[in-house]
Structure 1
Amino acid sequence: MTAPSAAGRPAASGPAPDTAPGPGYAFDNDSVHAAEQHGCLAAAYDTPTTAHLERTGVGPGWHCLEIGAGQGSVAAWLARRVAPSGRVVATDIKPGRIPAVPGLVVLRHDIVRDPLPERAYDLVHARLVLSHLPERRAVLARLLRTLRPGGRIQVDEFDSTHYAALLPADPDSRDLYARFHQAKLSALRASGGEPAWGRDAAADLCAAGFTEVEPVAHTEVWTADSPGARLQAHHTRHLRDRLVAAGMTDDELARVRHLMADPGFRAASCVFYTVQGRRSAD
């Protein structure tokens, strides 16, 4: 996807990117920003994620697969739920941030290319992973096969096209906030992702052969203290090179951070979808 033109806009200040950002996962687990990224995600979304996982009935003896475990907060929660007789396999391309927890097996694994056992798991969970993979529909088919008959899947994803600055009413601030989000959408799509995929996830699970598919949408109003708002401010740093390539300037990114730190700041969150499904009992 071609980044929006910066014609007529000020040139980016500060150091230029060492290399132009290219395709590939936008949020590197080895980045100096990764710990803050995972901390914000856990604070903002672990509660709804684990509440829905609990409703699957996951408990002692279950075998679970956590795809793209990141810093491992959800994988560790699952390991505690399935103890002492169950097991959780947590995978990531760069799994170094996943903690050592009893009952938790950590694997370096590429969900697109590396083999998966068939009929091996009672529960598969993936949060904010598949939207970054152009091969997401093929991956869903693989996840169906790795579940045991009757096994459950939960996919948590964003529709990041849903956003709006609610306060302040200053038109310039509203425009800046909108341009930041448009630049972020362009940056994520340029890296091969689809930031709106959350709204299509349920239909894609059905198409992959899952049954009993049920989507639930979560939204909230962000304030300056909200973990979700802190995550957006964090993205001005973590995605800085990609956002500059999409037309933002360092001065504009600093203004976005200042806007979101204002105690009067209010914005509609993106939509966080939790989608559950089941492999048929065959």
Structure 2
Amino acid sequence: MTHVQTAPGGYVFDNHNPHSGEQHRCLAAAYDPLTTERLAATGVGEGWHCLEVGCGGGSVARWLADRVGPTGSVLATDVKLTDIPAHPNMSTAEHDITADPLPEDHFDLIVARLVLQHLAERDAVLAKLVRALKPGGWLQIDEFDTSYEPVLLAPDDESARLYEKFLAAKSELMRRNGGDPSWGRQVARAMRAAGLVDVDPLPSARPRHAGSPDIGLQLHHTYHLWDGLLSVGMTGEELHAVREVMRDPSFRASSSVIYSVQGRKEQHR
């Protein structure tokens, strides 16, 4: 098994980690239905010009590319690009949203899923995204609040304690890297403070059980974040053991709350 150390001060899910492909597959399986349903509600269609920040495996960007048609465009960016299947209506670019510029008043729709809560500069990044929208354009930010992820049923008390330790270790790892694992609940207020109107937060949660997409994502984190989790106090034995807890047919938990928040840039008067 290959383990890659998480660098302090950076995004904990490194796209150059050998486990990143599975991270993207798990995220798509668990959250693409929510993300794309919300995007569809903006009316995105032929001729729209869209940006996805932190495109990961590119599944959302490709969905958008299907919608905008040949007269529209989708720019899919990430600080480290992976191999994303090509699409005639989509281009890709390596782009550090914390440092690199974006064109102003340019995009009809911008989406950022599970990106800003990892960034210490999230307020400045949000302001940059608002400036990049055309007047009347839409911003959608989907983020977790991991302060709510209760165990509902576990094989025994020790299993529940171990799972809770695993979740707490992930949150601590994120904080050490400049993130805020509960920022999802702050997104709507942050978007309104940034000047957006018609801000609409939609919270949702889903069950975690053996075989569910969301528990698959949690299992994957025991591999992808192995070194980081060891650095915040878990042991290798505990990580192996918590995998078995999550694979137990009797295990039940709730996901964290994910907030899908939309807002619109006001039209010039």
TM-score by length of 1: 0.92
Q: Aligned partners of 1:101, 1:88: CA distance in 2, in Å?
A: 9
Per-residue CA deviation, residues 50-79 of structure 1 (Å, 9 max, x unaligned), is 000000000000000110101100000000
Deviation at 1:244, TM superposition (A): 0.7
Deviation at 1:165, TM superposition (A): 1.5
Deviation at 1:99, TM superposition (A): 2.1
Q: Aligned partners of 1:117, 1:267: CA distance in 2, in Å?
A: 43
- For residue 245 of structure 1, what is the aligned residue in structure 2? 231
Deviates more, 1:114-123 or 1:94-103: 94-103
Give the 3 Å change call, closer, same or farther, for CA 142–20 of structure 1 in structure 2. Answer: closer
Letter in 2 for 1:246: V
Percent identity between the two aligned chains = 52
Q: Is the Cα contact below 8 Å between 1:59 and 1:81 reproduced in 2? A: yes
Q: Aligned partners of 1:31, 1:247: CA distance in 2, in Å?
A: 21
Please state whether the residue corresponding to 1:117 is helix, strand or coil: coil
Please state whether the residue corresponding to 1:138 is helix, strand or coil: helix
Please state whether the residue corresponding to 2:148 is helix, strand or coil: coil
Structure 1 residue 93 corresponds to structure 2 residue 79: yes
Please state whether the residue corresponding to 1:49 is helix, strand or coil: helix
Per-residue CA deviation, residues 56-110 of structure 1 (Å, 9 max, x unaligned), is 0000000001101011000000000000210001111111332211110111111
Letter in 1 for 2:239: L
Query: Runs of 5+ in structure 1 lacking a partner?
Result: 1-13
Deviates more, 1:161-170 or 1:136-145: 161-170
Letter in 2 for 1:132: H
Per-residue CA deviation, residues 192-245 of structure 1 (Å, 9 max, x unaligned), is 111111110111101111111010011111111111101111111111111111
Deviation at 1:20, TM superposition (A): 7.6
Q: Is the Cα contact below 8 Å between 1:121 and 1:147 reproduced in 2? A: yes
Structure 1 residue 267 corresponds to structure 2 residue 249: no
- For residue 70 of structure 2, what is the aligned residue in structure 1? 84
Structure 1 residue 205 corresponds to structure 2 residue 191: yes
- For residue 138 of structure 1, what is the aligned residue in structure 2? 124
- For residue 206 of structure 2, what is the aligned residue in structure 1? 220
Query: Runs of 5+ in structure 2 lacking a partner?
Result: none
Q: Aligned partners of 1:67, 1:257: CA distance in 2, in Å?
A: 31
Give the 3 Å change call, closer, same or farther, for CA 140–19 of structure 1 in structure 2. Answer: closer
- For residue 192 of structure 1, what is the aligned residue in structure 2? 178
Q: Aligned partners of 1:163, 1:181: CA distance in 2, in Å?
A: 8
- For residue 115 of structure 1, what is the aligned residue in structure 2? 101
- For residue 9 of structure 1, what is the aligned residue in structure 2? none
Letter in 1 for 2:212: S
Q: Aligned partners of 1:142, 1:201: CA distance in 2, in Å?
A: 15
Q: Is the Cα contact below 8 Å between 1:61 and 1:86 reproduced in 2? A: yes
Give the 3 Å change call, closer, same or farther, for CA 97–173 of structure 1 in structure 2. Answer: same
- Residue 42 of structure 2, aligned match among 31, 51, 56: 56
Q: Is the Cα contact below 8 Å between 1:21 and 1:241 reproduced in 2? A: no
Please state whether the residue corresponding to 1:97 is helix, strand or coil: coil
Deviates more, 1:214-223 or 1:35-44: 214-223
Q: Aligned partners of 1:165, 1:153: CA distance in 2, in Å?
A: 33
TM-score by length of 2: 0.96
Q: Is the Cα contact below 8 Å between 1:70 and 1:97 reproduced in 2? A: no
Deviation at 1:113, TM superposition (A): 0.9
